[in-house]
Every structure is written in structure tokens, then in C-alpha cells.
Amino acid sequence: MKIAFFTNVEQATSLGCVKRLIRSGEDKLTVVSVVSVQRIRLFRWIKDYGLLVLVKKCLLKMKTEFLRFVPCGHQGQESYVSYLKSSGIDLIRIWDINSPSSIEQLKTLSPDVIIICTFSSIVSSNIIKIPPQGIFNLHASLLPKYRGPTPVFWALYHGDPTTGITIHKVSEGIDSGDIVDQRETSIEKGDTIESLEVKLMELAADGLEDLVKRLKGGPVEAQAQVEKGAYAHRPTKKDWAELSRILEERHAK
């Protein structure tokens, strides 16, 4: 089975999931990583988050996700890129996944299945048609709740007692495909975005390993999302400031 793994390279979840795929011991499993190269949109980010929040976010992430992007690694942290190289996994960098050249490249690659994990682009119907066993997305919420790009943020923001991951088939809608697996975890009083992402990474890796085993037995059963669910937009700078206040108050109790 050939798997094309779509991700944004700086995401810690991606490293955990790819490691689990390789360590699963499945025979005849080939993984190719397709990475979205993100353009820097500094002015838009400042407008959305505010300069102070943006600086804090950058400093916070430097020791976690961003350092994993650096091929040489840092202070024992393994980078996504260095792990791919050491494991013999091909890495394909793509600017626009839906461009004609990218689509032709994927057709030539001819994956049996595509797995999407923290990927910045919405794939077109032309890509959905390529893998015979389908495309599956790892989403960091219990769908249909918190569709969209920042589900972990909103789970903490709203004080949810639990959250989880959903593995669903990719359709032309946003996080609206049929569900093949869901796994739940509690949100503790002291949790932050970073600590919650670690919990969800383990759940996602477990679910992905099981999905690959199920796919080897043929098409997997899936359940339609009956409820529509609201789209969770990207947080504004006011939202980030409010979350900081909420977490400080919550952690002080």
C-alpha cells in the first residue's frame, strides 16, 4: 500500500503520525510525504492576531513545532525533515496542491490512499479522485463540532470538558465527510493548546495505525455526519487575548 501523507511540515502532530505509520510493522507499506510550503503573510497575521499576540505565539512555538522544521534539529528534538531522511521517506514540496502540475505529479505518484494531517489547503475534486482507496483527514475535534482550522483553540476557549480527534473521508466540503473513527480525551484544568495537542497527537496516531489495518481489508465503513455543525473561524487578536485571560483564570483556581 502506498500512502501519500499531506501536511504542513512544522506541525508536531505530523511527525508523531508518520513515526507511527513506519513503526506499525505493516508489510509492503510505502509512505511519501507531500508538504505544503506556506507563504509568509506577515501583514495579514498582524491584522488578524495583533503584533503582541503574534510575537508571543512565535516565541512559544519556537521550542516546539518550528524547531522540528529545522533539518539539523535542536537540543535533541527531532525534525520532521530529518526523520523522513533517516527513514528513507520521499519528501515532495508543493506550493499549490491544486495546480495542474501538482495534480499530474500526484497522478504519477499513484498513491493507494492519501492521509491529510494539519494541511493548509483544501484539496480539489481532481485530487479526491486520484487514490482508489480514498482520502482521509485527521481533524482535531469531535466532528461536526469545530469544523475549520483551529479546533483546539475553540475547545479551550469554550471550556469544553472533553475533545478528541476525528478521522473522516474527504469530500468537497470543509471537514464534512463521512466519519470512520473518533477518539475522545478529557481537557484538564491545567491544559494549554500545546499540552492538548500532545494528547490529540497520540489519539491521531492510534487512529491512523488502525485505519491502515482496516484499509488492508478493503473499504472501511463510515457514518455520515448528520448534524451540520458550525464552522470555527480563525481566532482574531481579541479572541487570543480572551483565551489568555481564560486560561490564566482557570489555572489560578
Site of grid cell 526523520: 83
Sheet holding 2-7, edge to edge: 90-94, 30-36, 2-7, 113-117, 135-139, 162-169, 179-186
Site of grid cell 476557549: 157
Which one, of 129, 97, 92, 136, lies nearest residue 114 by Cα? 136
Which one, of 229, 241, 253, 202, lies nearest residue 51 by Cα? 241
Of 10-14, 72-76, 211-215, 242-246, the one with minimum mean pLDDT is 72-76
What value, to the nearest 5°, has the Cα angle with vertex 209 and ends 203 and 215?
A: 130
The pLDDT value recorded for residue 9 is 62
β-bridge mates for residue 162, sequence order? 186
Per-residue pLDDT reduced to its tens digit, 26-62: 555 677 777 765 544 445 555 555 566 556 656 655 5
Rounded CA gap, 191 and 250, in Å? 9
The Cβ-side half-sphere exposure at 93, using a 13 Å CA radius, reads 7
Mean pLDDT of 161-169: 97
Confidence of residue 19 (pLDDT cuts 50, 70, 90): confident
Structural domains in the chain, sorted by start: 2-252 (3.40.50.170)
Top pLDDT among 18 and 32 is at: 18
The pLDDT value recorded for residue 73 is 37
The percentage of the chain sitting over the pLDDT mark of 90, rounded to a whole number, equals 42
Tell me the average pLDDT of the chain: 81
The Cβ-side half-sphere exposure at 154, using a 13 Å CA radius, reads 19
The pLDDT value recorded for residue 52 is 61
Per-residue pLDDT reduced to its tens digit, 109-151: 999 999 998 887 889 999 999 999 999 999 999 999 999 888 9
The pLDDT value recorded for residue 69 is 40
Is residue 227 pLDDT above 70, yes or no?
yes
Q: Any residues with CB less than 8 A from the CB of 124 and at least 6 apart, and which?
A: 98, 103, 172
Top pLDDT among 26 and 152 is at: 152
Per-residue pLDDT reduced to its tens digit, 63-109: 444 444 443 333 344 677 788 888 888 888 888 888 899 899 999 99
What value, to the nearest 5°, has the Cα angle with vertex 94 and ends 93 and 99?
A: 160
Mean pLDDT of 159-187: 94
